[in-house]
Amino acid sequence: MSDSARKELAEQSLFDAPPIAEQERMVEAILFAAVEPVTVAELTARMPHGCAAAEALAYLRKRYEGRGVRVVHVGDAWAFRTAPDLGHLMQKETAEQKKLSRAAIETLAIIAYHQPVTRAEIEEIRGVAVSRGTVDQLLELEWIRLGRRRMTPGRPVTFVVTERFLDHFGLESARDLPGLKELRAAGLLDNRPLPGTMLKLDDDDDQPTGQTELFED
> If you average pLDDT over every residue of the chain, what do you get?
77
Domain containing 111 equals 102-213
Do 155 and 57 reside in the same domain of the chain? no
77-117 pLDDT, tens per residue? 999 998 888 877 876 544 445 577 888 888 988 898 888 99
Q: 23: closest CA among 71, 46, 56?
A: 56
- The total number of residues written for the chain in this structure: 217
Do 142 and 208 reside in the same domain of the chain? yes
CATH number at residue 18: 1.10.10.10
Q: Which of the listed residues 70, 90, 110 is the one where a domain comes to its end?
A: 90
Q: Which of the listed residues 59, 90, 121 is the one where a domain comes to its end?
A: 90
Q: What angle do CA 31, 143, 157 make, to 5 degrees?
A: 130
pTM score, two decimals? 0.48
Report yes or no on 186 lying in a domain.
yes
191-212 pLDDT, tens per residue? 444 333 333 333 444 433 333 3
22-33 pLDDT, tens per residue? 999 999 999 999
Report yes or no on 95 lying in a domain.
no
Which one has a higher pLDDT value, 28 or 178? 28
Do 160 and 85 reside in the same domain of the chain? no
**CB neighbour list of residue 133: distance below 8 Å, 6 or more residues apart:** 205
